[in-house]
Chains A and B, each alone.
Chain A
């Protein structure tokens, strides 16, 4: 087996005996589970090594193939080895786009064009996903599909490293809700992997950038060095993420994060729809797959050519052929590009920076090779060219592996692991008050660790109990945000409405764990009536907003909290 070792450019001055340093026994591996491809990497004691699977691939398609042999326990599955296997139609993919989403989610609706079954009822529940195996539709879940290839990655890594793998750092899209992150953790648990940390994809890239800046400073002996501001634009098949980081002396402060579930998959679907409007029924699944692959290849070619011929042999005597120019491609996907532009502009606004403040612009992910994407990012950031020290396709997994080494306590004589990233929260966290308003307690883009308290009051006279419903999101209406859990505060001292004081505290630690504390205060003091209740969120299997409807139905507003009106609580 060819055992090519990937060398990180900045590490080339590391001496041989430093390389021989023993690797701490249990270093977490880095995993990048992409919408279309995954990869894994590890710190080998001197540098990050991107691992290959048994087929000597450093990226593995994020597909799972369901086989028609019927072992006693049900059905078997494996990660497909070839294009022909993918064409057999028994595979599930794009699961990262579907995980943790309910059937009212627009992303789920758009997945109906995928060549497998996504059954929905539009009632806010998890969709049914099924693939045909031996003339029967076999149901599966995104968690199961992810767990299967995570297990495959784990097995490959164990084989390679000749030791058991327990811990992993995974990269995740910024736009993932805490519920989706929980699903990723569940998938990892199914695969026997303990999640050491889930890091937003561009922050993994920010870590690599900080490392390179730091190494350069050490190398050039420039002292503590200048502060560098970088905008990272990461766009893969499923997600588009932007981060802004300020780095100096090995410490990076993430200034702002923003992401949307828009990616190459959307462009692919737009083009398929444009070229072959009759595409899309489950009955013609095989030809749909052929179309999909042909169009995908055409889009790749358009990165280097201005026009391309899409030719699909449907293997039933029919050949479909259409030409596609780059101009057409850009027109059809105009909306996607506008969304990307808005994302960058908003992220700069959130960071309170302008394009002039940026030292570097880093483009990563599969879509970073699309000429229009490159040009729009660079023009918005007022840069001639992008930062070229980072491999756009391996950046995420390398960053994750670096974080895995740092978080596992590995050290390196050349100082390349003396790094610290101060992360920020990706969504606002708050509670429901006044019958349906959302009040953020910890706002989006707040550095972690963070702990904040707010004082609320009761909505009714002599209200002894209060319901605390916790949400994440940016809408001012609680119901438009994502519910993370709820609990009840009891023993509130009686008094007219607006007089009681209920303290709600939220705490996010550096592993992004959210804890919510709540309790009543004795009136006019900051003394707690009884010990505060601590609840870790999201609560398990919280029912997609239904639970709140049920709570409202039973309790009405009898247990509501209210924002304290400043004029009434005079001291």
Chain B
């Protein structure tokens, strides 16, 4: 049986109580209302008596959702289905590629939430990204969309620029990180995984406690780096498992893979802090 302090330490690393991750901050997701996925039998609910007063501490950052739905009350965009011509000069949208700014008059277009993040970056809706450098495309979009570059234009266009630019920033961040990219893919498939979900898999728990102990006991950089590369390898393995599961539409396993990835990332972060 695990003792209390050990459990506490495990809980800390597993639930990221040290510092919540900036992942999954999703803006303008083009989604139907998501289906929520929760682990039914979480460690803390089973053992909540042990934790009594400190229990709520772990729930501190457990905000379930941070999504903005299309047509939310703050959006200035008229939504999609407007007919794809430039609002300013009437030029039709190009046949290929997302229509974020007009090729003819360079006017920034209103946000069309049916365009997903993969389309913005010219990628297929798959976990593995193809060749092209995201950072380069990101910067190219910003050159066309960033509100600082439309300063002489109308308020209307400036607000479009604000929204488009923010959306491209979010798209870039979401796609450039393996975990957030995986979660976004699931979300596009209609599945929302809770960010701070507790974990019930005893095997993973035991493994993570061992890792934590190893990190704590590691006395030199060399050992830490060894642990780090071990965890990185595991992260890669599970990243591949996610890809395979997602390709097979095995969403239950894909969700398990994202949980693994999250905990490995946290462990890597712990190590980086100590290095």
Contacts and interface: CB of A to CB of B under 8 A. Distances in A.
10 nearest A-B residue pairs (beta carbon): A251-B139, A528-B73, A526-B69, A447-B169, A566-B64, A449-B166, A449-B162, A454-B66, A532-B73, A453-B68
7 contacts: A227-B135, A248-B139, A253-B139, A452-B68, A510-B147, A569-B36, A571-B36
Interface in A208-264: 224, 227, 246, 248-251, 253
Interface size class on chain B is 35 or more
A406 B36 CA distance: 46
Contacts of A115: none
Interface in B41-60: 45, 56, 59-60
Interface string B56-87: 10011111111111011110000000000000
A311 to B, nearest CB: 47
A251 B27 CA distance: 23
A12 interface: no
Interface in A366-410: 406-407, 409
A448 B27 CA distance: 13
Contacts of B152: 409
Interface residues of A, number: 52
B139 A566 contact: no
Contacts of B272: 349
Contact of B67 (A253, A453, A510): A453
A310 interface: no
B106 to A, nearest CB: 14
A522 to B, nearest CB: 11
Contacts of B73: 503, 517, 519, 528, 531-532
A227 B194 CA distance: 35
A249 B139 contact: yes
A505 interface: yes
Contacts of A440: 20
A450 B148 contact: no
Interface of B: 20, 22, 25, 27-28, 33, 35-36, 38, 45, 56, 59-69, 71-74, 135-136, 138-139, 142-143, 146-149, 151-152, 162-163, 165-166, 169-170, 173, 194, 196-197, 272-273
Contacts of A507: 74
A430 B166 CA distance: 18
B273 A420 contact: no
Contacts of B67: 453
Contacts of B273: 349
A315 B232 CA distance: 68
Nearest to B138: A253
A507 B139 CA distance: 21
Contacts of A448: 166
A571 B35 contact: yes
Contacts of B38: 566-567, 570
Given A249-B139, A249-B143, A476-B60, 11 more contacts: A246-B135, A248-B135, A420-B146, A443-B22, A443-B25, A446-B22, A455-B64, A510-B165, A566-B36, A567-B38, A570-B38
A566 B56 contact: no
A450 B62 CA distance: 21
Contacts of B68: 451-453, 505
Given A248-B136, A503-B73, A422 B142 contact: yes
Nearest to B60: A437
**Centre residue among B60, B71, B73 by max chain A CB count within 10 A:** B73
Contacts of A449: 147, 162-163, 165-166, 169
A455 B166 CA distance: 20
Contacts of B173: 447
Contact of B169 (A450, A509, A564): A450
Contact of B27 (A422, A450, A564): A450
A439 interface: yes
B25 A452 contact: yes
A248 B152 CA distance: 25
A456 interface: yes
A481 to B, nearest CB: 14
B64 A569 contact: yes
Contacts of A249: 136, 139, 143
A563 interface: yes
Contacts of A510: 146-148, 162, 165
Nearest to A409: B152
Given A449-B165, A451-B74, A251 B143 contact: yes
Nearest to B35: A571
Nearest to A438: B60
A22 interface: no
A78 interface: no
A565 interface: yes
Contacts of A517: 73-74
A453 B60 CA distance: 17
B62 A563 contact: yes
A251 B142 contact: yes
Given A227-B135, A503-B73, A531-B73, A454 B65 contact: yes
A292 B111 CA distance: 58
Nearest to B133: A227
A476 B18 CA distance: 10
A456 B163 contact: no
Contacts of A447: 169, 173
Given A443-B25, A450-B169, A509 B66 contact: no
A420 B148 contact: yes
A564 B64 contact: yes
A434 interface: yes
Contacts of A519: 73
A290 to B, nearest CB: 47
Nearest to B37: A566
B180 to A, nearest CB: 13
Nearest to A197: B148
A448 B168 CA distance: 11
A327 to B, nearest CB: 29
Contact of B72 (A453, A509, A564, A570): A453
B63 A563 contact: yes
A42 B136 CA distance: 31
**Centre residue among B28, B69, B148 by max chain A CB count within 10 A:** B148
A446 to B, nearest CB: 8
Contacts of A409: 151-152
A466 to B, nearest CB: 15
A440 B60 CA distance: 11
Given A248-B139, A443-B22, A563 B74 contact: no
B48 to A, nearest CB: 12
Contacts of B165: 449, 510
Contacts of B59: 563, 565
B150 to A, nearest CB: 10
A345 to B, nearest CB: 9
A439 B61 contact: yes
Contacts of B56: 434
A441 interface: yes
B272 to A, nearest CB: 6
B144 to A, nearest CB: 10
A246 B22 CA distance: 20
Contacts of B148: 406-407, 420-421, 510
